Structure 1
Amino acid sequence: MSPLNTLVPSNTQSAPRLTRHYRNLSLILLLCGAWLFWASHFHSPFDLIQEYGRFIFLGITGAIFANSTGAGGGVIFIPVFSSLNFSESQSVATSFMIQCFGMTAGAISWSLYYKKRHLEDAAWSGFVKAALLAAFFSVLGFWSSQLLQLNSPSSLHTSFSIFSIVLGIAIVISSKSSTPITRAIMPVDFLWLALIGYFGGIITAWLSVGVGELVVIYLMLRGLCTKMAIATGVIVSAITVWSASPIHIFSTNSHALFELVLFAGPGAVIGGLLARKLALYLPVKVLKLFFSIWIILTGSVMLAS
């Protein structure tokens, strides 16, 4: 074979990589430009960085947790906002807005992973239908809560504390479950996902978290693929938080702290992109047990305070 011919496959393979490199670089520059344009609307940028810059790490942490375990980032955000004496409306609205960044990045990352690795995988059969069905009913539940004015039975502080403790215990149980992994979602699962989605959407309207966690826990207890369960929960959460954008983002009456989101939002994008790699690298049980203990402790401290 001619030495010249051996170069052809190499050049052919490098072309898509180069195209992908420039595409990613263009996307990064576009996002940085959008951030600078948004930041230019605030006064005293240096004071803004000094006061809120540290929240980029909050966004990264919350998004990594949310997108690697399926539990919403609000589990991280709400306790922090509570410690900063934010009002209930500020805590929920700001949490929703940050999750619009992080959960979207995580949903895109998990969707690309599914398309690349598990499109023909029987263990992921029904993934798209399950995610869209649960998301539809979650959005329906969220807006039912808003339009019918279904208020939380107690304060955000108490409700979130109790939910965190119950969630942490449920994650421990789901992690230790010995249910054999099934090969596909059964028809009865779609019915349960619709119910979980609806009532999870109502809980999410109150706490900014809920539906993604419930979906993941249900699928894991049913013995379905853990990574598929996490991906489903992330996508359902992403669609749900965006359905709240007319209230918490685009409304002139929004209580979200946009200065904080200016930094926590990009951090959440970074965390959302890193989370899938972390979830695939580390044993899922280790991740879930670690965070479940943290959630239980956080909920207990908030409940006692």
Structure 2
Amino acid sequence: MFSYIPTFKRKNTFSGEYYRSLTILFLLSSAWIVWLFQFAQPIALIKEYGKFVFLGVTGAIFANSTGAGGGVIFIPVFSSLDFTETQSVSTSFMIQCFGMTAGAISWSGYYRRHHHHDKTWSGFIPSILLAATCSVLGLWSSQLWQLSSPSSLHTSFSLFSIVLGIAIIISSQRRPLQSHRLNALDYCWLAIIGYLGGIITAWLSVGVSELLVIYLMLRGVCAKMAVAIGVVVSAITVWSASPIHVFSSSSHALFELVLFAGPGAIIGGLLARKLALFLPVKTLKLFFSSWIILTGSVMLAN
């Protein structure tokens, strides 16, 4: 008799979550269809750009399972398509608004369900608030003061990818420190990294999340928490640039491509957390770092 009540409650909870998910899916699908028909010749558009759904899925899976921004995948592809630098950065920002947001929601839900009272995750929210605030300040400092990248997007991104890949490999091979809680000095570094990372992100559409994840892993923070922090901070950072790259009438983003890559990024962002929890983090890091080193080297050679 008494065992039936919890079972009934679980069924109601499951039903509620199912219908809520179904409602969200319906609303998103309806919004996408409305957006599609804002363009002329929607059928031709699907034939020409439909394949970019897979780009969005791939980029978001890499980004949200490792903490690295999706631009690490998007920028090399856009470069091979002969996009201008402004087109590449704007389009990458806009796609990440979809994928990183989905990943941030997924990782935040994971924290709330499994680690809300976990002492090893006690720095999750403070780290996000501090690093995201400084990252947004860094991004807008770059915009308002017109700080330009020291070299072209092609060269800067290539060098950044190679250095980032090497740093990820080093951090993956190091034995984790037994440091579960961040101290005052760590938060100072997170503020500095957040600000500088925001400036780099303004130039390349990637930067802040990668630097944060590497630092946190070197400090011995739980790898999953480090990835989650990087994803959420990245989502906040890319959305802070939405007045420039998304809602501005002068945006250089290729909206036809985003129409398909964006929904793909949502799918990838939701799948990424499950992949990160299923596979060893070290395996993901090594695979990802090898990929971006190869990509950066190829771009630098061309």
TM range (shorter): over 0.9
How does 1:19-34 map onto structure 2 within 5 Å? 19-34=16-31
User: 2:127 maps to what in 1?
Assistant: 130
Q: For the residues of structure 2 that align with 1:123 and 1:6, how far apart are their CA atoms?
A: 34
- Equivalent in 157, 177, 180 of residue 180 of structure 1: 177
Q: For the residues of structure 1 that align with 2:3 and 2:126, how far apart are their CA atoms?
A: 45
Q: CA contact under 8 A between 1:181 and 1:225: conserved in structure 2?
A: no
Q: For the residues of structure 2 that align with 1:179 and 1:144, how far apart are their CA atoms?
A: 34
User: 1:197 maps to what in 2?
Assistant: 194
Runs of 4+ in structure 1 deviating by more than 6 angstroms, as ranges, are: none
Q: CA contact under 8 A between 2:171 and 2:218: conserved in structure 1?
A: yes
Q: Tell me whether 1:84 sits opposite 2:81 in the alignment.
A: yes
Q: For the residues of structure 1 that align with 2:175 and 2:7, how far apart are their CA atoms?
A: 47
**1:220-259 deviation per Cα after TM superposition (whole angstroms, max 9, x unaligned):** 0111100000000001100000000000010000000000
**1:168-198 deviation per Cα after TM superposition (whole angstroms, max 9, x unaligned):** 0000011111132312111111100000000
| TM superposition shift of 1:6 | 5.6
Q: CA contact under 8 A between 2:177 and 2:218: conserved in structure 1?
A: no
How many residues are paired up? 302
Q: CA 1:9–1:201 in structure 2 vs 1: closer, same or farther (change >3 Å)?
A: closer
| TM superposition shift of 1:40 | 1.1
Q: CA contact under 8 A between 2:58 and 2:265: conserved in structure 1?
A: yes
Q: CA contact under 8 A between 1:63 and 1:269: conserved in structure 2?
A: yes
**1:49-75 deviation per Cα after TM superposition (whole angstroms, max 9, x unaligned):** 010000000000000000000000000
| TM superposition shift of 1:122 | 1.2
SS class of match (1:199) = helix
User: 1:59 maps to what in 2?
Assistant: 56
| TM superposition shift of 1:22 | 0.5
User: 1:74 maps to what in 2?
Assistant: 71
User: 2:163 maps to what in 1?
Assistant: 166
Letter in structure 1 aligned against 2:143: Q
User: 1:41 maps to what in 2?
Assistant: 38
User: 1:272 maps to what in 2?
Assistant: 269
User: 1:209 maps to what in 2?
Assistant: 206
Q: CA RMSD in A?
A: 0.9
SS class of match (1:236) = helix
Q: Tell me whether 1:105 sits opposite 2:89 in the alignment.
A: no
TM-score using structure 1 length? 0.97
Q: CA contact under 8 A between 1:106 and 1:276: conserved in structure 2?
A: yes
Q: State, as a whole percentage, how many aligned pairs show the same letter.
A: 70
Letter in structure 1 aligned against 2:100: M
Letter in structure 2 aligned against 1:198: Y
- Equivalent in 241, 244, 247 of residue 244 of structure 1: 241
Q: For the residues of structure 1 that align with 2:187 and 2:9, how far apart are their CA atoms?
A: 44
User: 1:157 maps to what in 2?
Assistant: 154
User: 1:232 maps to what in 2?
Assistant: 229
Letter in structure 1 aligned against 2:38: H
Q: For the residues of structure 1 that align with 2:25 and 2:239, how far apart are their CA atoms?
A: 22
Q: Tell me whether 1:256 sits opposite 2:256 in the alignment.
A: no
SS class of match (1:255) = coil
Deviates more, 1:8-17 or 1:67-76: 8-17
Q: Tell me whether 1:142 sits opposite 2:139 in the alignment.
A: yes
Q: CA contact under 8 A between 1:170 and 1:217: conserved in structure 2?
A: yes
